[in-house]
């Protein structure tokens, strides 16, 4: 018999490792293990979502006639690790082969390969074909390039999949409609109400388990409204396409107090855990354009996130790990301020964004990039600490997608492999794209003084601190031209102000 080992982010019936399963002989192994629930201090809702979705998936497999060996977190003999549980399951079932789909994270793959060397049971690891591009396909594209750019990779993906193509040309005559997608939200806009799902008995039980076992982890556990089954995730997809996709493009970069989701898909936890596939989500969006329900700027912008960015960051992860995680191109060394966990800061944009995450285990892309990310970049926070935070607090966070976004896109710690410039911004950007500044004790307008938005001094301080490394970057030519006009006194004043502000930030909970 074969043992089919399915991980918590592989909850797809048509998974490569389940496709040729013989239900009469083979057994599916699924395990809840302490190491996965603790390798970062995950948001409570993230743990509930994964464990409940795993339990529902196991039920579904049984309903389909499969035999499932399911190890619960509370089982007394649970060894607490993937490898320990794999070894115990091999002793129970004596399989001739263990069949898996490639894990999403490098650390898990490394452990599996090490395990294989210690056993005489064959381990077959199959390509994860839920992605459009194989690792090999990305390697072919990346070969010989000193830096990568998403846009060019994305065009190849469009050509290869035929998505939004008219023969050899992109539909609408251009590849990218991003210039239409940067509008702030009008004051009178009524944001669609989001579909949330009532916890059933299984989810209720898991909520109690997580509340009990992880009481001090980040975030509220309730209200819990995530889908934990494919059926509900499909309803969430329909809801997005119907009610939100038409507004997705225009307001993709907008932020609003108390509105965590706006017009975003809120589908990443389902895509990443396997409840939905990238292909079906892209097809649904393309059909919405074909039948006139959503405009092309929204549909192209949305599909680019999945067919472009999602595939691109995964490609970089597998191409460059494990060395990728250890670079620190801007020599960032400050510890992570405590407010990232507590949300207690006078900077209203950070307070609101972190509050949204605590409530929902979600934050949209611009909050991640231009609020919490921008602060970490400008403040020079040590990459590993920022990465741990991002991996912990979002329901959709897995290292293959989190790491390139944080290490490369936000922190520029890879020296420009992923992005052509750091996304550094002063308070004016946040003011333009959100209503946060109106409720803040600071203001983005004054250049200095008590009232001045900390992002302003931090922005110039960042440019000064990294002048040697960044001033030759053509995409930063304008800010460096402006900086060149500053007197020595003004520069010294900025550095002193920013340093004093950063030194005043608490880095511990106060209980230590
Ligand atoms: P939408 O904005 O509606 O986009 C649709 C889909 O496109 C998403 O569901 C997602 O699958 C994909 N997508 C969009 N942007 C990206 C991107 N930059 N990289 C990869 N996929 C993308 N995404 C994660 O799935 N997990 C993470 O851990 C994660 N960490 C991030 C950390 C930082 C600092 C930044 C800047 C981005 C991160 N992203 C991550 C990407 C993106 O912010 C989220 O995918 C998105 O906010 C999820 O919400 P949504 O489903 O409403 O997405
Ligand atoms: C994130 C997570 C958590 C919290 N718990 C489990 C678990 O108990 N069992 C499991 O199979 N997977 C879990 N996961 C998802 C894994 O971390 C993920 O499958 C690996 O990191 C590979 O991407
Ligand atoms: Fe954020 Fe500055 Fe605006 Fe306050 S003034 S909300 S700190 S950008």
Q: Are residues 351 and 435 in the same domain?
A: yes
Total domains present in the chain? 3
Q: Are residues 196 and 153 in the same domain?
A: yes
What pLDDT shows up at residue 510?
52
In angstroms, the CA 183 to CA 250 distance is 6
For the CA of 10, the nearest atom of ligand 2: 19
Q: Are residues 376 and 469 in the same domain?
A: yes
Percent of the chain surpassing pLDDT 90: 92
Whether 511 maps to a domain, the answer reads: no
Whether 328 maps to a domain, the answer reads: no
509 confidence band (pLDDT: 50, 70, 90): low
Q: Are residues 247 and 305 in the same domain?
A: yes
511 confidence band (pLDDT: 50, 70, 90): very low
CA distances from 161 to 156, 158, 166, 170, 310 (A): 9, 5, 12, 12, 15
Q: Does ligand 3 have an atom closer than 6 angstroms to the CB of 453?
A: yes
My answer on whether omega of the bond before 380 falls inside 30° of 0, hence cis, is no
CA of residue 429 to ligand 3 center, whole Å: 10
CB atoms < 10 A from the CB of 261, how many? 18
Q: Given 126, 147, 179, which residue is the final one in a domain?
A: 126
The predicted model scores a pTM of: 0.97
Whether 206 maps to a domain, the answer reads: no
Q: Does ligand 1 have an atom closer than 6 angstroms to the CB of 410?
A: yes
Q: Does ligand 3 have an atom closer than 6 angstroms to the CB of 354?
A: no
Check whether 303 has a pLDDT greater than 50. Answer: yes
DSSP 256: B
In angstroms, the CA 494 to CA 490 distance is 6
What pLDDT shows up at residue 182?
76
Whether 388 maps to a domain, the answer reads: yes
Residue whose pair of structure tokens reads 């190849």 in the numeric block: 156
Q: Does ligand 1 have an atom closer than 6 angstroms to the CB of 409?
A: yes
In angstroms, the CA 272 to CA 281 distance is 12
Q: Are residues 310 and 253 in the same domain?
A: yes
Section 112-140 average pLDDT: 96
Section 48-65 average pLDDT: 98
pLDDT (tens digit, 9 = 90+) per residue, 73-103?
999 999 999 999 999 999 999 999 999 999 9
Q: Are residues 254 and 347 in the same domain?
A: no
**Which ranges of 336-487 would DSSP assign to H, the alpha helix?**
339-342, 348-360, 365-366, 373-379, 383-393, 399-403, 427-433, 454-465, 467-470, 477-484
Q: Are residues 18 and 114 in the same domain?
A: yes
Q: Given 68, 94, 126, which residue is the final one in a domain?
A: 126
For 191, the 3-state DSSP assignment is: coil
Q: Which of 375, 438, 444 to mutate to test the pocket of ligand 3 (most atoms within 8 A of CB)?
A: 444
Q: Does ligand 1 have an atom closer than 6 angstroms to the CB of 253?
A: no
Whether 87 maps to a domain, the answer reads: yes
What pLDDT shows up at residue 385?
98
Neighbouring residues of 342: CB distance < 8 A, sequence distance ≥ 6: 509
Q: Which of 4, 5, 6, 7 to mutate to test the pocket of ligand 2 (most atoms within 8 A of CB)?
A: 7
CATH number at residue 276: 1.25.40.80
Q: Are residues 168 and 301 in the same domain?
A: yes
Q: Are residues 121 and 145 in the same domain?
A: no
My answer on whether omega of the bond before 223 falls inside 30° of 0, hence cis, is yes
Q: Does ligand 1 have an atom closer than 6 angstroms to the CB of 240?
A: no
Q: Does ligand 3 have an atom closer than 6 angstroms to the CB of 442?
A: yes
CATH number at residue 429: 1.10.579.10
Q: Does ligand 1 have an atom closer than 6 angstroms to the CB of 309?
A: yes
* Long-range contacts of the stretch 347-350 (C-beta < 8 A, 24+): 347/375, 347/440, 347/442, 347/453, 347/454, 347/455, 348/436, 348/437, 348/439, 348/440, 348/441, 348/442, 349/255, 349/430, 349/434, 349/436, 349/437, 349/440, 350/375
In angstroms, the CA 303 to CA 310 distance is 10
- Mean of all residue pLDDT scores within the chain: 96
For 38, the 3-state DSSP assignment is: helix
Q: Are residues 162 and 310 in the same domain?
A: yes
Q: Are residues 102 and 55 in the same domain?
A: yes
In angstroms, the CA 483 to CA 313 distance is 33
For the CA of 456, the nearest atom of ligand 3: 2
CA-proximal residue: ligand 1, atom 11 (nearest)? 268
Whether 63 maps to a domain, the answer reads: yes
Section 36-54 average pLDDT: 98
Q: Given 84, 101, 126, which residue is the final one in a domain?
A: 126
**By residue range, what is the domain housing residue 298?**
135-201+212-320
What pLDDT shows up at residue 455?
97
> Which tokens go with 192?
């669609």
Q: Are residues 10 and 68 in the same domain?
A: yes
Q: Does ligand 1 have an atom closer than 6 angstroms to the CB of 390?
A: yes
Whether 327 maps to a domain, the answer reads: no
Check whether 478 has a pLDDT greater than 60. Answer: yes
CB-count burial class (<10 Å; 0-12, 13-18, 19+) for 342:
middle
Percent of the chain surpassing pLDDT 70: 99
């Amino acid at each position: 018999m074969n043992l089919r080992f399915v991980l918590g982010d592989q909850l797809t019936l048509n998974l490569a490792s389940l496709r040729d399963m013989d239900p009469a002989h083979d057994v599916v192994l699924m395990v809840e293990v302490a190491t996965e629930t603790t390798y970062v201090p995950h948001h409570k809702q993230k743990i509930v979502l994964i464990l409940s979705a795993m339990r529902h998936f196991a039920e579904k497999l049984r309903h389909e006639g499969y035999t499932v060996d399911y190890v619960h977190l509370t089982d007394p003999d649970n060894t607490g690790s993937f490898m320990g549980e794999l070894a115990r399951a091999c002793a129970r079932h004596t399989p001739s082969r263990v069949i898996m789909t490639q894990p999403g994270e490098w650390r898990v793959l490394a452990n599996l390969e090490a395990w294989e060397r210690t056993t005489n049971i064959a381990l077959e690891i199959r390509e994860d074909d839920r992605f459009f591009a194989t690792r090999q396909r990305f390697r072919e594209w990346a070969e010989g390039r000193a830096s990568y750019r998403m846009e060019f990779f994305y065009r190849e993906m469009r050509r290869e999949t035929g998505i939004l193509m008219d023969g050899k040309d992109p539909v609408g005559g251009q590849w990218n409609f991003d210039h239409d997608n940067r509008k702030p939200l009008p004051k009178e806009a009524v944001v669609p109400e989001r579909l949330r799902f009532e916890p059933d008995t299984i989810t209720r039980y898991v909520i109690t388990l997580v509340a009990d076992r992880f009481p001090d982890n980040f975030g509220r556990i309730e209200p819990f409204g995530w889908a934990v089954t494919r059926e509900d995730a499909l309803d969430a997809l329909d809801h997005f396409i119907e009610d939100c996709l038409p507004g997705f493009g225009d307001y993709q970069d907008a932020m609003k107090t108390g509105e965590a989701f706006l017009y975003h898909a809120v589908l990443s936890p389902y895509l990443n855990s396997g409840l939905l596939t990238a292909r079906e989500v892209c097809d649904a969006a393309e059909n919405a354009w074909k039948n006139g329900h959503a405009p092309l700027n929204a549909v192209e912008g949305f599909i680019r996130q999945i067919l472009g960015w999602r595939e691109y960051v995964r490609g970089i992860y597998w191409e460059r790990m494990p060395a990728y995680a250890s670079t620190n191109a801007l020599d960032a060394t400050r510890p992570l301020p405590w407010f990232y966990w507590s949300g207690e800061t006078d900077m209203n944009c950070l307070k609101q964004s972190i509050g949204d995450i605590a409530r929902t285990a979600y934050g949209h892309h611009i909050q991640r990039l231009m609020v919490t990310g921008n602060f970490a970049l400008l403040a020079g926070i040590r990459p590993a600490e920022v990465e741990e935070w991002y991996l912990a607090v979002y329901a959709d966070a897995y290292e293959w997608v989190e790491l390139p976004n944080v290490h490369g896109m936000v922190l520029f710690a890879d020296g420009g492999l992923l992005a052509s410039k750091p996304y550094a911004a002063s308070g004016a950007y946040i003011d333009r794209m959100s209503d946060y500044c109106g409720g803040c004790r600071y203001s983005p307008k004054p250049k200095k003084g008590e009232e001045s938005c900390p992002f302003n001094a931090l922005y110039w301080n960042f440019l000064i601190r990294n002048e040697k490394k960044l001033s030759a970057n053509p995409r930063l030519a304008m800010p460096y031209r402006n900086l060149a006009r500053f007197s020595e006194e003004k520069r010294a004043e900025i550095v002193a102000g920013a340093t004093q502000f950063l030194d005043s930030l608490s880095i511990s909970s106060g209980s230590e």
